[in-house]
Amino acid sequence: MTPSRLLDALDRRPLDRPPIWFMRQAGRYLPEYRRLRSRHSFAEAMRNPAIAAEITLQPLRRFPLDAAIVFSDIMTPLAAMGVGVEFAPGPVLAPLTLMDVARLPGLEPAGVDFVGEAIEIVRTGLDREVAVVGFAGAPATLLAYLVEGGGSQQFPSFRRALHADAAPEALAVLAEAMRTYLLVQVEAGADVVQLFDTWAGLLSADQFEALAVPAARRALSGLGVPTVYFAPGSTHLLERFHLVGATAYGVDWRLGLGEAWRRVGDHPLQGNLDPSVLLGDRAAVRSGTVRVLEEAGGRPGHIFNLGHGILPATPVENVEAMVDSVVGWAGTDCAGVSHVSGSAP
């Protein structure tokens, strides 16, 4: 059986090129996704395993990617715990107190079985060399949405709540629920799982270590597969990432990979092309992609990804240029000249 390039990278095995996948790769930049969504709401697309699997597989039909990330949303398990969630287009919910969150029922696997079914379909439809990535929202990020009642630039209610004595209890409830949710995905066939901690960067270093880290660590514990922790906008926290206990850490575009590696430590790193580079021309895309590859320097444990989710206005041909540049990467010769084999002029 051909081994998974992503799993090899997570095991820090030497590779001829890094694996490539990218966040939100199944989504709005693809015309086939937009056509399908014109017939189905976002909630229907997520909750119907056949539709979710089809959306998950769409980018794999276009590009030689090394992983498929299941089409879902970090709010999915919260809805299964009795939290009313609407999308307009971002999540909108009635704000909860910390004690409300602490009293939420545990997540029953049956409440998210449609996610597991979608993963089973995807796993059956892919060669084993393509990894399937499951995911969940990190407890701190979910708490931000629950307390605030939706998205926010500054999340003042969430940040105020973190100073209350009940914050650790609320985070612990969410940590257990996310661990259950990730186990459902692993049991369905996910080879790797990623924890998205989108709003961890709002925390001070001390808050991160005292509150976000224990909850994230619990959510990722004992899953039996490699894990990735991604917290964008958190350069002040990089030295503390290792406390989460993940296999690998995602980094955004704000630091070069060399500096990020120095600060995170000796762990696999995922990243970190700025998604806005993909809005330019193909030459800029190839140049930006090669720059990331050169910064990684062929170091074992690099997973090529964007520094955040792909932007909806991204031209498909630019995604093709990025993927081709990584797949055709031939490293650096002794004279320091970089090569991308098979690239279009």
Written as six digits, the tokens of 339 are 């090569």
* Annotated active-site residue in 28, 62, 217, 263: 28
Contact yes or no for 260/238 (Cβ under 8 A): yes
* Annotated active-site residue in 66, 73, 191, 252: 73
Please confirm, yes or no, whether 35 is among the known catalytic residues. no
Amino acid found at 50: A
Contact yes or no for 257/272 (Cβ under 8 A): yes
In the sheet that holds 248-250, the strands lie side by side as 67-69, 131-137, 192-196, 227-230, 248-250, 269-273, 302-306
Task: For residue 257, give Cα distances in angstroms to 66, 89, 174, 247, 289.
Answer: 20, 33, 31, 17, 12
Contact yes or no for 343/326 (Cβ under 8 A): no
Task: For residue 323, give Cα distances in angstroms to 66, 83, 90, 109.
Answer: 10, 38, 28, 36
Written as six digits, the tokens of 78 are 């919260």
Please confirm, yes or no, whether 73 is among the known catalytic residues. yes
Written as six digits, the tokens of 47 are 């909750």
Round to whole Å and give the CA distance between 80 and 174: 12
The phi and psi torsions of 101 (rounded to 5 degrees) equal -65, -40
> Among candidates 210, 222, 207, 133, which has minimal Cα distance to 176?
222
Separation of CA 17 from chain center: 21
* Annotated active-site residue in 12, 37, 62, 254: 37
Please confirm, yes or no, whether 11 is among the known catalytic residues. no
Please confirm, yes or no, whether 145 is among the known catalytic residues. yes
Task: For residue 175, give Cα distances in angstroms to 5, 212, 221, 285.
Answer: 29, 10, 10, 38
* Annotated active-site residue in 33, 145, 181, 229: 145
* Annotated active-site residue in 5, 17, 24, 286: 24
Please confirm, yes or no, whether 165 is among the known catalytic residues. no
User: Catalytic residue positions?
Assistant: 24, 28, 37, 73, 145
